[in-house]
Chain A
Amino acid sequence: MSFLIGTEAIAHVAFWIVVGLTFGGAVIAVFPRNIIYNVLGLVMALSGVAGLYLYLGSFFIALMQLLIYVGAICISIVFAIMLSRPLHLEVPKRSVPKVAMAAGASAIFFAAVVGVIFKSNWVPAPEQSGDWSVVTIGHLLLTRYDLVFEVISLVLLVAIIGAIVTAGYSRRFSS
């Protein structure tokens, strides 16, 4: 029995490590003045969120998180930073009242959301089926949610064309 308690404690510690990673990363993503640190903070936070998905039992979504957010989006941000060198640009000074106002507004929003969360009476599903496999998600994407699938495809197509056109035009303007 002591071993079982051991595994539970390990899982608990792992959970708090992941939470710490997420929040630490989020803070690093928002506050430092060196933009590379912001990106690395974002990477940390997104990996932390992937860990939370793992903890929720959604292995597939956790890997997609790593693959799409960390492996593609953040890499392209790093790439954009290296190419456009906004690193050496002057960072405008922060005005204290502005930061205070932003923090205040966010705090009010946070308080409101937390109020809603704890006031509501969430009703869990009566039964927990164990079927969360990739196969099920795939079937749902092609049957019940196939409109979502089509919309995703269309959005990606438009985005590809848009990115190519934007990049092409900007090159023509600047040269």
Chain B
Amino acid sequence: MLTWSLGFLILMVKLGAVLLFLLLAAAYLVWLERKFLARLQVRYGPNRAGKYGLLQPIADMIKMLTKEDTIPEGADRVIFLLAPAVVTVTALLMFAVIPFGGDLSFLGKRIPMVIADLNIGLLFVFALSSLGVYGIALGGWASNSKYSLLGGIRGAAQMISYELSLGLSLVPVVMLAGSFSLVDIVRAQEAYPFILVQPLAFVIFVISAMAESKRIPFDLPEAENELGAGYHTEYSGIRFGLFFLGEYVNMQVLGALVAVLFLGGWSGPFLSGPAWFCIKILVVALVMIWIRGTLPRLRYDQLMALGWKVLIPLALVNIVVTGAVILI
């Protein structure tokens, strides 16, 4: 009974720690993105609230919480209210299977630094990322606005298309590691990270994951100068905040997945596991912001052609080649 309650307590602590980390990191990722983007464009970025604008995320949060939560006329109330939550919750849940570090020993017990080490953790991530589409598509539909509907349709089409290449690009990684469990995949990279043996899979994964998270070269669902703000045009206050939070949590998921699958997860010299893991997430996030500052938006037909005619065939070829190499 004692072990049961202790296990429950440890689980709760882990959940709280991960949630706190994610929300804080999301808030400061916004600050980092604004600051870094501003420097790329020879601006200052936020510098009024606190030193270097470090209090800006808190000010933004207060602003979002206190603004009026409007519901447009003719909107489908239930779906309109639920859609932002779907986006955020699916993004947050993905962290349940992501390992932050190796085992920790505490009171003579070995505590893995992951909330749930599923033996099919990668499938869990895919299942949740495919559920995230509902938030976009239904939020766009329920707003009863042309811009939102167009954004929702674009978002759904883009996410369905790129989910295929996302999944296919990871098949070689699973073949090499021999497991769907993210912990086992990290353990399999103890000798060398998979980016060295699977550079093609890495490139395909990063491109399609950026398309999944709808960031700038792929931000057609919310293209400002065509659609207002796309699927969240009609949202305000904390519901818009939830969409926003979902986007930045998604960015962290992406960084964490790249770190776990290709960069060797928590392993690295000198520093402790979680520190290395956070550094790797941060590097991926910075590269994504850099890409955002550099590349223009794709056209819709270019987007579809890239997904279906380039990435998916390449991923399939990569699977066949990897399989052949493993067999030989």
B157 within 8 A of A: yes
Binding stretch for chain B, among A18-26, A68-76, A94-102, A114-122: A68-76
Q: Which residues of A contact B126 (CB under 8 A)?
A: 67, 71
Q: Which residues of A contact B79 (CB under 8 A)?
A: 36, 40
Q: Which residues of A contact B157 (CB under 8 A)?
A: 79
B1 within 8 A of A: yes
Q: Are B133 and A133 in contact (CB under 8 A)?
A: no
Q: Which residues of B contact A4 (CB under 8 A)?
A: 1, 4
Q: Are B160 and A75 in contact (CB under 8 A)?
A: yes
Q: Are A75 and B141 in contact (CB under 8 A)?
A: no
Q: Are A71 and B133 in contact (CB under 8 A)?
A: yes
| Distance of A62 from chain B, by nearest CB (Å) | 9
CA distance A70 to B160 in the complex (A): 12
Question: Given the interface contacts A1-B1, A3-B1, A78-B137, does A133 sit within 8 Å of B119 by beta carbon?
Answer: yes
Interface residues of B in 115-149 (CB under 8 A from A): 118-120, 123-124, 126-127, 130-131, 133-134, 137-138, 141, 149
Residue among B126, B130, B141, B157 having the largest count of chain A Cβ atoms under 10 Å: B130
A53 within 8 A of B: no
Q: Are A134 and B134 in contact (CB under 8 A)?
A: no
CA distance A83 to B323 in the complex (A): 39
Q: Are A76 and B137 in contact (CB under 8 A)?
A: no
A60 within 8 A of B: yes
Q: Are A71 and B127 in contact (CB under 8 A)?
A: yes
Q: Are B131 and A71 in contact (CB under 8 A)?
A: yes
B5 within 8 A of A: yes
| Distance of A38 from chain B, by nearest CB (Å) | 13
| Distance of A24 from chain B, by nearest CB (Å) | 14
Q: Give the size range of A's interface with the partner.
A: 20 to 34
| Distance of B204 from chain A, by nearest CB (Å) | 19
Q: Which residues of B contact A36 (CB under 8 A)?
A: 76, 79, 138, 141
Number of B residues with CB within 8 Å of any CB on chain A: 27
Q: Which residue of B lies closest to A72 (CB)?
A: B130
Scoring B residues 69 to 83 as 1 if CB is less than 8 Å from chain A, else 0, what string do you get?
A: 000000010010000
| Distance of A90 from chain B, by nearest CB (Å) | 19
Q: Which residues of A contact B120 (CB under 8 A)?
A: 59-60, 63, 134
Q: Which residue of A lies closest to B118 (CB)?
A: A59
Q: Which residue of B lies closest to A70 (CB)?
A: B131
A82 within 8 A of B: yes
Interface residues of B in 126-182 (CB under 8 A from A): 126-127, 130-131, 133-134, 137-138, 141, 149, 152-153, 156-157, 160, 163, 180
Partner of B130, one of A1, A70, A82: A70
Q: Are B119 and A3 in contact (CB under 8 A)?
A: no
Q: Which residue of A lies closest to B141 (CB)?
A: A82
Q: Which residue of B lies closest to A76 (CB)?
A: B160
Q: Which residues of A contact B163 (CB under 8 A)?
A: 71
Scoring A residues 16 to 35 as 1 if CB is less than 8 Å from chain B, else 0, what string do you get?
A: 00000000000000000000
Smallest CB-CB A-B distances: 7 pairs: A71-B130, A66-B127, A67-B127, A63-B123, A63-B127, A3-B1, A82-B153
Q: List 26 A-B contacts (CB under 8 A).
A: A3-B5, A4-B4, A36-B76, A63-B120, A63-B127, A66-B130, A67-B123, A67-B126, A67-B130, A70-B130, A70-B131, A71-B127, A71-B130, A71-B131, A71-B133, A75-B133, A75-B134, A75-B137, A75-B156, A79-B137, A79-B153, A79-B156, A82-B149, A82-B153, A134-B120, A134-B180
Q: Which residues of B are in contact with A by a Cβ distance under 8 Å? A: 1, 4-5, 76, 79, 118-120, 123-124, 126-127, 130-131, 133-134, 137-138, 141, 149, 152-153, 156-157, 160, 163, 180
> 19 more A-B contacts (CB under 8 A) besides A3-B4, A75-B156?
A1-B1, A7-B4, A40-B79, A59-B118, A59-B120, A60-B123, A63-B120, A63-B123, A63-B124, A64-B123, A71-B127, A78-B134, A78-B137, A78-B138, A78-B141, A78-B156, A82-B137, A83-B153, A134-B119
